[in-house]
């Protein structure tokens, strides 16, 4: 991660700060309280230098971001990835269907300006490393240390 930036994993923040309305037992996940999440992050996001890591983005204010990255995965990669995480069959199927229907990508397209939105393939370690390189180069260009 580039120097001076802070990484926030929103899923961990939701658990740690109780930013949810309870647990959805069927999907084994928390029911997000989007207002609480945004209230919790507002001051940090206003200061800048934050990398937000989450599986959706449409409820975050556009003003918070200079870059929105949507990572895409082929279903033959995504399915075993989610199995390894111990997801239930129902949760895996929902995630796969969302990827097929481009739900997160479409939400991002509707929520953020085209010029700040990147969709990157994330099927292999090589693609992951290339994605890190691309994002790091962009951040360095913004910071004037390319």
pTM of full prediction above 0.85:
yes
E strands of the chain, at which residues? 6-9, 20-24, 29-32, 50-53, 68-72, 117-121
Question: Is the pLDDT confidence value at 18 over 50?
Answer: yes
pLDDT tens digits, 83-142? 999 999 999 999 999 999 999 999 999 999 999 999 999 999 999 999 999 999 998 888
Nearest Cα to Cα of residue 64 among 101, 94, 97, 39: 39
Question: Is the pLDDT confidence value at 146 over 70?
Answer: no
- Residue 54 is predicted with a pLDDT of 96
Mean pLDDT of 34-45: 97
Please list the residues that pair with 24 across neighbouring strands. 29
Q: For residue 38, name the pLDDT band (cuts at 50, 70, 90).
A: very high
- Residue 121 is predicted with a pLDDT of 97
Nearest Cα to Cα of residue 71 among 2, 127, 12, 10: 127
- Residue 142 is predicted with a pLDDT of 84
pLDDT tens digits, 58-81? 999 999 999 999 999 999 999 999
């Amino acid at each position: 991660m580039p120097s001076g930036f802070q990484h926030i994993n929103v899923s961990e923040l939701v658990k740690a700060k109780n930013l949810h309305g309870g647990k959805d037992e069927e999907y084994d996940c928390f029911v997000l309280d989007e207002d609480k999440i945004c209230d919790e992050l507002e001051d940090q996001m206003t200061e800048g230098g934050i990398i937000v890591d989450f599986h959706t983005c449409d409820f975050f204010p556009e003003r918070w971001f200079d870059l929105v990255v949507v990572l895409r995965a082929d279903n033959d990669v995504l399915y075993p990835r989610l199995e390894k995480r111990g997801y239930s069959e129902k949760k895996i199927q929902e995630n796969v269907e969302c990827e097929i229907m481009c739900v997160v990508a479409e939400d991002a397209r509707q929520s953020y300006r085209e010029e700040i939105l990147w969709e990157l393939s994330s099927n292999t370690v090589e693609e992951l490393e290339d994605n890190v390189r691309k994002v790091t180069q962009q951040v360095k260009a913004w910071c004037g240390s390319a």
